[in-house]
A and B are shown apart, each in its own frame.
Chain A
């Protein structure tokens, strides 16, 4: 049982490049989330999904896109990378019970130069 996995662990992009951050969970959770965490700051929600085929914007969605074709996978797409997207990205999943907590992946550290 791997929990939530994310790839890659580290990535350096040039301005204007695109990439996809991968997130997979094996807990059969319906809910999945993408956060970014800037140095010394809390977690800001980018996008979330309540089930396959259903996604919604969070607090900071601009510059990102998501899709949810399966329960297990929730990739985050960065189009036209900008230095402001330099951050650590965390994926999380959560069960359906109202009291369930979120379980986090190990994170992807992204630098845009």
Chain B
């Protein structure tokens, strides 16, 4: 069974700090990795995707992938109260199914 694990949190950081969200996955054949943000009562929306080992930066967000360790992370720099949400890690294997973690709840304290 393909598993994606995240620390459910809650994770609290002060405004302006760096929030670090982590995700591990079990399927070594996984090819692409996605971070979604989900506000309460809303649908998931894509923040970042990453395919290659290393870092990928987009504005205040940086995704990091280490396939050898089966680990993907999301860093949010200069965290804002509007970043308070649940962050879902999703992993896509060789097929077309996505496997989602249970999400990490982030609260940014003003």
Q: Residues on A close to B: CB < 8 A?
A: 31, 33, 35, 40-43, 45, 48, 50, 58, 90, 94, 98-99, 101-107
B69: Cβ under 8 A from any A Cβ: no
Q: Residues on B close to A: CB < 8 A?
A: 4, 8, 31-32, 34, 42-46, 49, 51, 88, 90, 92, 96-98, 100-103
A101-B46, A105-B43 given; 9 more Cβ-contact pairs under 8 Å? A40-B8, A43-B88, A48-B97, A90-B43, A99-B51, A101-B34, A102-B34, A107-B42, A107-B43
A98 to nearest B CB, angstroms? 7
A sample of 21 cross-chain residue pairs with beta-carbon separation below 8 angstroms, ordered by A number, consists of: A35-B100, A40-B8, A41-B102, A42-B4, A42-B101, A42-B103, A45-B98, A48-B96, A48-B97, A50-B96, A58-B97, A90-B43, A90-B44, A94-B96, A98-B31, A98-B92, A99-B51, A102-B98, A104-B44, A106-B42, A107-B43
What are the residues of chain A within 8 A of B46 when measuring CB–CB?
Answer: 101, 103
A40 to nearest B CB, angstroms? 8
The answer for the CA separation of A41 and B4 in the assembled complex, in Å, is 13
What are the residues of chain B within 8 A of A98 when measuring CB–CB?
Answer: 31-32, 92
Which of A31, A33, A99 is in CB contact (< 8 Å) with B32? A99
B37 to nearest A CB, angstroms? 11
What are the residues of chain A within 8 A of B42 when measuring CB–CB?
Answer: 106-107
The answer for the CA separation of A50 and B97 in the assembled complex, in Å, is 10
Interface of A is mostly: strand
What are the residues of chain B within 8 A of A31 when measuring CB–CB?
Answer: 96
The answer for the CA separation of A106 and B90 in the assembled complex, in Å, is 18
The answer for the CA separation of A40 and B103 in the assembled complex, in Å, is 8
What are the residues of chain A within 8 A of B45 when measuring CB–CB?
Answer: 104
- Report yes or no: A43 in contact with B34, Cβ–Cβ below 8 A: no
- Report yes or no: B97 in contact with A45, Cβ–Cβ below 8 A: yes
The answer for the CA separation of A104 and B97 in the assembled complex, in Å, is 14
